[in-house]
Structures are given as structure tokens and as C-alpha cells.
Amino acid sequence: MVRSPTEGEFNITIKPQSPDADRSRRPDAVAAPDSAKIVAVYVPRGGSSMFARHNRLIGIIFLIADVLLVLTSFGLALEIRSHLPGARPFYPLSNYPLFISLTLVLWLAVGVAAGIYREVREEDLRRVFADPLKVGLVSTVVLFAATFALKLEFTSRLLLGIYALIDFLLMIGFRLVAWRFAAPLRRSVAGFRNFLLVGGGPELAEIARTLEANEDHGMRLYGFVRIQNGPAETLPTGLHKSYPTVTLPELPELLRRQVIDEVIFAVAKDELEMLRDAFLICEEEGVKTRVLLSFFPQIISKVYLERLGTTPLLTFSATPEDDSLLIKRGLDFIMALTALVALSPLLLILAALVKLTSPGPVFFSQTRCGLGGRKFTLHKFRSMHADADLLREELEALNEVDGPVFKITNDPRCTPIGRFMRKFSLDELPQLVNIIKGDMSFVGPRPPLPEEVEKYERWQRRRLRMHPGLTCLWALEGRSKLSFRRWMELDLEYIDHWSMMLDWKIILRTIPIVLVGRGAS
């Protein structure tokens, strides 16, 4: 499959290679054709910044905020105008829906045209005042001209003046708050990402210094990996902090024990061959990989070019991109909050039944592994007797699931109300709180226990690179009746084909399965 690359694109070509070439070590991976290797050619376009996705997310937040500010300003202006004495009659809000829509479109169109949402610099105090002034002046002039040209006689010029002044002040106020809390704002949008640098030399030092300088963008340097036992001075010096350093053979254990989100390789050409296993290890862990050179093992990752400062990096990602997941996170929050309010009577009834039918706490809380292996506390209605954990060892021989998971049909530790709740997944409802907090999503791999993760094969660990969820593809194929291996394969299939449409299909198909209690244990 060959086509000429357009500017800024990769051209992926299949070329001959020796028949004994390695395949991806993930058991269920699709093998590349025999006698083939992957070669990538990039036609430069200047590259996209590693900060571009963060900037787009911040821009979306500012745009949504300005929409709310326009509506708020118009409401306040109407309220103020209604209490001001004047000879001209005042028209009620019912006269203004179309006019408000026109105003909203106008304000946003001017803002987009002016580029104030394209590259937001909330840390730049000058733009805190310049952007609202730019949008306010142009929009107000156009709005007054449109009112005059369309002969909108019911619209008071005083009302428009009050609205424009309030909106200008509110835009400045919002941006002052964003300026004051610029670093926490960016961290709340993208979170901290831990970086591990592999290699040595001046390029690595430049990357390390760039990461340190941009920690307020959510980038945190964790440490370095030395490829060979060379002199210590080959590693960067003059950094603001000291960082741990490990050797290449220690990389698998480090990725297993420490939360590392991205690994950047800055290596010489003659060091590439010894890094083949390191790339595959990172991919199997689901860790995003960036390189300074065109080194392509046989991979399933998406490959694209980004820039860290002025340094071009090829990026390998075996999971969906962060900006694509922002809408998913927003919908999760809104849906979980709505469901929590709507189902609050049911939650109270279930809590009372749990409390009245068996001694012990209402809720069962347990440490689980979330995104990237991060620990969080999962909440459920208690469906078992209070001493259930003490009885697990006695029942270990009855485990019906292979792998590091423990499940028994008609578990004797369940209480009567607990068995009913588990059949219809009602015991999972408190996890709406976990979704609101950002620990979980509605759709995603189920959150495993830390001791289960310890027993994962390497290729299975990539399932940790999506937020865990209440349901996923395994729920459609049998819920508790799947083998452990098939469960893992379905989770990876979900990650590889993720889209918002897939999420909605899973949710809609899960609802009838839960209502009839099929496949639960």
C-alpha cells in the first residue's frame, strides 16, 4: 500500500526483509506479512507542538466559558435595564431569543476569527486584557450596526451598552482567574504526565531542561535510563533537581513498579539495535514512546510527529489520544451526576436494605488500579457478609475463572439482598461517585485488584492505559462467563478501536443485558 505523501504526513511502505524477522510478542497481535518490514518517510510541515493538544483543550474551555459569559451578561443587562427609569418602553425577555442567538454567534465568530481560542496563553497578563478588548470593540460595533440596519426597534441601545460593558468585564474577570491559576488549570485539564528519558548526550539534556521548564504544562521528568555503563557525565547536568538513573535491563521492572506515562529515546544510530526490546516492552505496557530517530520495530501503535520546543519527536501510541478522550470525560461527568441525582431514592433504599439485612457497613470500599496503574478506592454496596475476605482462602478451590481473578457462581458469602443486587449490577451504582471523581468511566476495562495486576503477562498490562469502566465489550459477550484471556483480548480490542460511537453502542447494548440479569454472578 503505497501512496505519495502530502505535506506533513507519513508514507507507510512494506519492503522486503529477512524471513526470520521478529513479530510483535503480544500473543493476539496481527502479524506483519512475511519478509516485510515497516519503513516510514515523513514530509515535514514544521510539526505539531507537544503542547498543541493541551492548548486545544484550554481553548475549548475558554470558548465554552465565553458562551456562558455572553448569556450571563445579557441576563444581567436585562435585569439592570428593567430597573432603570427611562422614557422608552422596556420589552421582556421573550422578545429577545433570536437577538441573543445573533449576539452569541457574533461574539464567538469574532473571537474565533481573532484567534483567541486557537492558542490560549492564560499565563500572559497582556492577553488577559487584550483579547476581551479586541472581541468587545469589534463585536459591539457590528452589533450596533446590525441593530440599526435590521431596524430592531425593540432593542434598547442602552441595553446593548450595558450588555457589552458587563461582558467585557466578565471576560477580563474570567481570564484574570485563569491567569492566577494557570498552572493548576493546565494540570486539571491534562494532569501530570511522568516522563522517562533514555540515552545520553546534548539532545537528552535539552529535552530534560525543556521538561523542567514546562512542568506547569503537566510534564514531569521522572528520571533517566542509561543504555550502557558509560561515565556518569554523559547524562544531563545542571538540572534544577536530581533524578533517579537506571540501566536498560532495569527498564521492565521500573515500568512495572512506577507510573511512567511517556518514554523518550534520544540515542545514537549505533545504539538502535539494542533498543528493539525496549520499544516492544513500552508498547506492551501501553506507554507512549517518542524517539529522535527513525527506528521502527514491528508495532501496532499510531505513529506521528510532534515537537518538544524545537526538537522533533516521532511518537508511538498504542492507546487513544488524550484530546479525543476529553469529550468522553465531559459526558461521563454529566451523565454520572445526572444519574446520581435521579437514582438517589433507589440508592437510599438499597443502602437501607443492606444495613437492615446483615451486620456490617453499607459500602464496600477496595483499592483498585486505574489509569496507568494508579491506585484509587472503588466503592460498591456491600453484597457479602462482613467477614467475606477471611473466607476466600477456604473457597479458593471453587474458583471458576482462570487467571488471577476469583469468581464463584452462587458465592456462599453473598447475602440475599447482595445476590439480588449483583444479578442486576445494582451493587455497582456507588461507582457513579468514582466516575464523577475521574477515577472511572462508564465504558472501559474493569478496574483490577493490585494483586491481579502483579500476575498480568506483559501484553495484558496495556489494558491499564484506558480509564476503567462499569461496562465494556466483555459485558456483551457473557460478563462473568468469559475466560480470563478472552476478557483481556476484548479489553485490548476496545482500546484499539475506541470511539464515542463504540461507547454508545456498548452502553445501549449493556442496558437490556443488565435489566434481565444475564451473565452476572
- DSSP-derived secondary structure for 119-166: S--TT-HHHHHHHHHHHHHHHHHHHHHHHHHTT-TTS-HHHHHHHHHH
The confidence score (pLDDT) of residue 45 equals 35
Each residue's pLDDT tens digit, 300-344: 777 777 788 878 787 878 888 766 688 888 889 999 999 999 999
Cα–Cα distances (Å) from 361 to 346, 358, 380, 390, 392, in that order, read 18, 9, 11, 16, 19
Report the predicted TM-score, pTM, of the whole model to 2 decimal places: 0.58
DSSP character at residue 8: T
520 versus 87: which is more confidently predicted? 520
CB 379 within 8 A of CB 347: no
Q: Which three cell numbers stand for residue 287?
A: 506507554
Crossing angle (nearest 10°) for helices 344-357 and 324-342: 70
510, amino acid identity:
T
| Mean pLDDT value across the chain | 78
The answer as to whether 8 is a domain residue is no
Last-in-domain residue among 272, 290, 317: 317
Last-in-domain residue among 317, 333, 361: 317
Each residue's pLDDT tens digit, 275-302: 889 989 998 999 998 887 645 555 677 7
The answer as to whether 26 is a domain residue is no
CA of residue 91 relative to chain centroid, distance: 46
CA 324 – CA 376 distance, rounded (Å): 23
The answer as to whether 203 is a domain residue is yes
CA of residue 517 relative to chain centroid, distance: 31
Same domain, 429 and 293: no
Nearest to 366 by CA among 426, 421, 440: 440
Q: Compute φ and ψ for 464, nearest 5 degrees.
A: -75, -5
Same domain, 329 and 470: yes
Helices (H), 150-307: 157-180, 182-190, 202-213, 251-257, 276-285
Q: Which three cell numbers stand for residue 432?
A: 457513579
3-state helix, strand, coil in the chain (%, to 5): 50, 15, 35
CB 464 within 8 A of CB 373: yes
Same domain, 461 and 433: yes
Our count of domains for the chain comes to: 3
CB 162 within 8 A of CB 170: no
Q: Does the CA dihedral 419-423-426-429 come out positive or negative?
A: positive
The predicted model gives 483-500 an average pLDDT of: 89
The answer to whether residue 509 scores a pLDDT higher than 50 is yes
DSSP 26-89: STTSPPPPTT-EEEEEE--S--EETTHHHHHHHHHHHHHHHHHHHHHHHHHHHHHHHTS--SS-
The predicted model gives 470-494 an average pLDDT of: 84
Same domain, 177 and 196: no
Structural domain harbouring 99 = 52-184
Assign residue 239 the CATH number of its domain. 3.40.50.720
The confidence score (pLDDT) of residue 189 equals 59
29 versus 93: which is more confidently predicted? 93
The three state secondary structure string of 351-377 is HHHHHHHCCCCCEEEEEEECHHHCEEE
313 versus 9: which is more confidently predicted? 313
Nearest to 310 by CA among 203, 196, 190, 237: 203
CA 69 – CA 163 distance, rounded (Å): 10
The answer as to whether 1 is a domain residue is no
Nearest to 281 by CA among 235, 236, 316: 316
Neighbours of 381 (CB within 10 A): 23
pLDDT band at 269 (very low <50, low <70, confident <90, very high): confident
What percentage of residues in the chain have a pLDDT greater than 70? 75
CA 290 – CA 117 distance, rounded (Å): 28
The answer as to whether 294 is a domain residue is yes
The answer as to whether 152 is a domain residue is yes
The confidence score (pLDDT) of residue 46 equals 37
Same domain, 343 and 208: no
Torsion (CA) 291, 219, 369, 257 in degrees, nearest 10: 60
Same domain, 257 and 141: no
The answer as to whether 5 is a domain residue is no
Same domain, 409 and 267: no
Cell 477456604 belongs to residue:
394
Strand partners, 305: 314
The confidence score (pLDDT) of residue 423 equals 86
The answer to whether residue 197 scores a pLDDT higher than 60 is yes
- Kind and range of the H or E element at 12? strand 10-15
pLDDT band at 433 (very low <50, low <70, confident <90, very high): very high
Greatest Cα pair distance, the chain, in angstroms, is 91
Query: For the ranges 51-65, 148-162, 216-230, 331-345, which has the lowest average pLDDT?
Result: 148-162
Same domain, 401 and 494: yes
Q: Does the CA dihedral 235-262-278-301 come out positive or negative?
A: negative
CB 39 within 8 A of CB 299: no
Cell 460595533 belongs to residue:
141
CB 226 within 8 A of CB 247: yes
pLDDT band at 48 (very low <50, low <70, confident <90, very high): very low
The predicted model gives 20-29 an average pLDDT of: 42
Last-in-domain residue among 300, 317, 334: 317
The answer as to whether 42 is a domain residue is no
CA 107 – CA 70 distance, rounded (Å): 8
Helices (H), 181-213: 182-190, 202-213
